[in-house]
Amino acid sequence: MKSPLKVLLAEDQAEMRALLCGMLAREGYEVVVAQDGPGLIETLIAGLTDESDAWIPDLIISDVRMPGFSGVEVLARLRRESWTTPVLLITAFGDDELREQVERLGAARVLDKPFELEVLRDMAREMIAPH
């Protein structure tokens, strides 16, 4: 039996986090959530260091503006550490400068809020293929 694809979701707005988590779970993904940038980093570190239950995401979905670290700062840190996991950034404040910056850092996609859940679902499917 194949294990479900893993998605790490970082979103500081509780309602949006619950909505996205529910949709991803209904699509069959194993979803772990973080409330902010530091939580995202802590979750990644914990997933790598828990020998009894290692958890490495197949996709990271992160809001851009969050307390602690922004999604862009998290993306930059991941790339400095040679993480190649696809990253989908979501933002209500997307502009050309942000898009250029995250493209240089290797974000797979930027999705502007508001968006239809089906659009995020389709992007997730495109970004990570089943095992």
Sequence spans of domains, the chain: 15-92
- pLDDT tens digits along 10-47: 999 999 999 999 999 999 999 999 999 999 999 988 88
pLDDT digits (tens, 9 = 90+) for 51-88: 666 788 999 999 999 999 999 999 999 889 888 899 99
Task: Please state, in angstroms and as integers, the Cα–Cα distance from residue 104 to each residue in 3, 28, 108, following that order.
Answer: 32, 31, 10
- Give the percent of the chain with pLDDT over 70: 95
Could you confirm whether domain 15-92 is CATH 1.20.1250.20?
no
Give the pLDDT of residue 52. 64
- Alpha carbon distance 46, 39 (integer Å): 10
| Per-residue confidence (pLDDT) for residue 46, from 0 to 100 | 86
Extract the tokens encoding 35.
């409330």
Tokens for 122, please give them.
């389709």
pLDDT over 70 (residue 8): yes
Quick one: pLDDT band at residue 131, thresholds 50, 70, 90?
Answer: very low
What pLDDT, on a 0 to 100 scale, did the predictor assign at position 51? Answer: 66
Tell me what pLDDT residue 66 has: 93
